Structure formats: C-alpha cells, structure tokens
Amino acid sequence: MCNELKIVAIQANLIWENPNENRRYFEQKIIQLDSDTNLIVLPEMFSTGFTMNPVTVAETMNGTTVSWMINMAKAHDIAIIGSIVIQENHQYYNRAIFVHPSGALETYDKRHLFSLAGEDKLYASGINRVVINFKGWRICPFICYDLRFPVWTRNTNNYDLLLFMANWPVTRIDAWDALLKARAIENMSYCIGVNRIGKDKNGYQYNGHTSAYDFLGEKVTSTQESKEDLLYCTISKTKLQEFRQKLNFLKDQDSFEIQK
C-alpha cells in the first residue's frame, strides 16, 4: 500500500475535435513531470473537447488514444485517467479510462448525460459505478454532470478518492466549486475535479477551477483561473483513516437502492 499518493491534474485548453494535437499537448506535459508522480488526471473528452459529433470523433478501445494512454502509462510508470468518446456495440459512450502502470485498463461510462446539450440523445448512459484499486487506494471516477447527483456518487463502497473529469462552463462555475466541496464533506473523502479552459467551437467558455479538497471539505490546492496549469496534490491515507476513525459519520448514512 502507498500511504501517500502523488497526483497531477492537467488543466488544458482543448483543441476542438483534434485528437492528434491534444495528445501531443498532454504528452509534452507528462514527460516533464517528476518521476515520483503516481496518477495523472485529464479532463472530460480530453482528446476532442465536449463534442456532440460522436460519429466524427469516436474511437474504439483498440484505437489510437487508448493505445497512447497505455504507452504513456508504461513508459513513465504512472497511472492515467481521462474520458474520451468510445464506440462499442453500435453505441457511443463518454467513457473514463483508467490505465494502470502495467497497461491494464478499467473503465467507467458517464451515467448522467447532459440533456441540455443533447448528450442523452447521442450517447448511451452507463449503468455501473466503478471503484478502482490502485496502490492500496480505492478511487471512484465520475464525469462532469455526475457531480450534480449525490445519490449516484454516495460513498457506499468505502472509497478514498473521488475524481471528477469535466468540461464545466464559466456560467455555472460557482456550482462546480460548491459541489466539489460538498461531495468531499458528505462522503468523507478526498475529492479532485479537473476542468478545461478556453472556448469550444460552440462558443462556450471554460475557466478551469481545477481543485482538490480533503475529507473535511477544505481546499488543498487549486490551479490558476483561465490559464493552462498543473495541479499538484499529495494525499495521505493515514490522515484520512484517522479522521474516519475519529468521526465516522458514514456509519449513520441512510441506505438506498438505485434503480437502473
């Protein structure tokens, strides 16, 4: 088990529907990181931006971007997670892909599709939550709009770290900040949200606010607003366990069943 996990989240200005350029950008950032980095977190649809053109940009699990993630993970002995557009079984998914340093893959498909943009008409909804075991840490990944739904993200699996990958616009950034903090507090978990910057082809503006919160909801660190930036965060398993032993609020939570 790794008591301390060193995480880097990359806040980037994504180039619209240009996987080659986006991969090149992230690769340059990754190769410059310290060798003791354990986990890299990329934004939602990091290779394309939040596009409603899945027919144009979708890849398969054997495609170029997944292969690139595997190569990066193996070459630098790190784990990488980010979401991309995947086509599978004649459907499209907004899929988070976690690549272990060995190249092994785990995936999570976005459950709550953003109907305001028509995502629910073009993409298939995920039905399963995922808890990833990495270096003794239990990591629960979610994507953007999932952040608004506390029942789906509720800590019933005793995870240690929540990850949210997003393209969250400037007009609702106060909600992003408030909800990341709330998810950390109510789940007694570390919580990291990575968001993009810049303007997409639809004219939506993004200003980042990539942030990390601890199990008390206190902000550990955050990026510069509206700038390309890296969030460096080291989280402690000992501190988390001590807090949960002292104030075990999770044992008093309501039980429920999600109807899929």
**Cβ distance 99 to 105 under 8 Å?**
yes
Q: Is 110 a catalytic residue?
A: yes
Q: For residue 159, give Cα distances in angstroms to 141, 172, 220, 242.
A: 10, 27, 19, 15
Q: Exactly one of 17, 110, 140, 191 is catalytic; which is it? A: 110
Which residues in 231-243 are b (16+ Cβ under 10 Å) and which e? Answer: bbbebebeebeeb
User: Can you give the pLDDT of all 260 residues of the chain as single tens digits?
Assistant: 799 999 999 999 999 999 999 999 999 999 999 999 999 999 999 999 999 999 999 999 999 999 999 999 999 999 999 999 999 999 999 999 999 999 999 999 999 999 999 999 999 999 999 999 999 999 999 999 999 999 999 998 889 999 999 999 999 999 999 999 999 999 999 999 999 999 999 999 999 999 999 999 999 999 999 999 999 999 999 999 999 999 989 999 988 888 77
Of 144, 191, 233, 237, the catalytic one is 144
CA angle 57, 58, 62 (to 5 degrees): 130
**Nearest Cα residue to 96 out of 203, 225, 234, 194:** 194
257 is catalytic: no
Active site residue 44: yes
pLDDT score, position 258: 83
From 44, 59, 106, 119, active-site residue? 44
CATH number among 3.90.1150.10, 3.60.110.10, 3.40.50.300, 3.30.420.40, domain 4-247: 3.60.110.10
Would you state the pLDDT for residue 15? 98
DSSP code for 7:
E
Domain boundaries, the chain: 4-247
